[in-house]
């Protein structure tokens, strides 16, 4: 029996199939005037309807935002003529799939195309024995060919059991010290392209958190929040709006101060330029890869 027949790969595949459908359907719903919160909640509910669970809150990154932006519980933001990145994850029993797509309403179709074509070029070279530096070189070459820059301080990543980011990192530029992919590796490859300098920095907003360690806490709301986090989300990222406790923001602040959870600040292109993103999850094989999040 092939190693890729293992039950965990079937769950990765199932997560990817659900995710491909939800990504495509969610992207179709993005239009000027549409609600960020309604799209995020619709996609998260759709994942559950199809038999999966969200692996992290739906990320809706606008213009210069690259990652970790998700609506708050009372968010009234609507889409304008903007560059919109949807980054969505699904897990089945803790086995993950991760995908992203740019919906361009800003009139910068070439920037969106650059990350999309960079991903296709990267997928063409993925196989057991390939260095992640070679994958990064393909990404960099395509994006620079469009006249843009890859975002160099964001990378693709491995996907573990209940772990959204594991080794190896998949760079978005050529590096000499890359890891070597092996058959059976499950990795998310995600080129980011920008018309800026190619670096992101942390903003001040945090709506996404993850468990750092379990500890006893005295505050009742913080304790309730922690119980839900440990039981439902384990080590996967979650949104403030997912918590059932009253005064969730205060509970999270207490947990963060005690080192129990850590936040994910919104990442933004450092000079305020646009960012596009495209991402697929793949299972590495001896002679290529199986893309689990490809549209069916």
> Which residues are part of the catalytic machinery?
87, 98, 157, 165, 190, 279
The DSSP symbol for 128 reads T
Alpha helices in the chain (DSSP H): 7-29, 36-49, 109-125, 132-145, 220-228, 248-257
Based on the number of CB atoms within 10 Å of its own CB, is 167 exposed (0-12), middle (13-18) or buried (19 or more)?
Answer: exposed
Q: Residue 160's Cα: distance from chain center in Å?
A: 14
Q: Contact at 8 Å (CB) between 100 and 88?
A: yes
**Stretch (H or E) spanning 276:** strand 275-277
Helix, coil or strand: residue 63: coil
**Triad 219, 221, 223: Cα angle to 5°:** 65
| Sheet strand arrangement including 163-170 | 163-170, 156-160, 186-189, 280-285, 288-291
Neighbours of 277 (CB within 10 A): 26
* Residue 34, preceding peptide bond in cis (omega within 30° of 0): no
């Amino acid at each position: 029996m092939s190693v890729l027949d293992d039950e965990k790969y079937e769950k990765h595949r199932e997560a990817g199939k659900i995710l491909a459908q939800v990504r495509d359907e969610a992207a179709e719903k993005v239009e000027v005037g549409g609600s960020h919160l309604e799209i995020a909640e619709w996609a998260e509910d759709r994942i559950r309807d199809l038999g999966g669970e969200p692996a992290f809150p739906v990320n809706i990154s606008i213009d210069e935002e690259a990652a970790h932006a998700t609506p708050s519980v009372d968010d009234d933001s609507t889409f304008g003529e903007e560059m919109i990145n949807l980054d969505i994850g699904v897990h089945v029993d803790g086995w993950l799939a991760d995908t992203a797509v740019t919906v361009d309403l800003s009139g910068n179709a070439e920037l969106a195309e650059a990350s999309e074509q960079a991903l296709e070029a990267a997928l063409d070279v993925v196989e057991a024995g390939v260095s992640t530096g070679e994958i990064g070189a393909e990404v960099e070459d395509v994006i620079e060919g469009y006249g843009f820059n890859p975002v160099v301080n964001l990378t693709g990543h491995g996907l573990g059991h209940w772990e959204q980011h594991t080794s190896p990192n998949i760079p978005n530029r050529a590096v000499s010290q890359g890891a070597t992919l092996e058959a059976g590796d499950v990795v998310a490859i995600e080129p980011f392209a920008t018309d800026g300098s190619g670096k992101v920095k942390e903003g001040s907003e945090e709506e996404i958190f993850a468990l750092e360690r379990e500890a006893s806490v005295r505050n009742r709301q913080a304790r309730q929040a922690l119980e839900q986090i440990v039981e439902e989300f384990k080590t996967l990222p979650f949104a403030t709006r997912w918590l059932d406790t009253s005064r969730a923001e205060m509970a999270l602040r207490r947990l963060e101060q005690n080192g129990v959870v850590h936040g994910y600040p919104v990442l933004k292109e450092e000079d305020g330029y646009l960012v596009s993103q495209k991402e697929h999850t793949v299972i590495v094989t001896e002679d290529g890869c199986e893309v689990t999040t490809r549209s069916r």
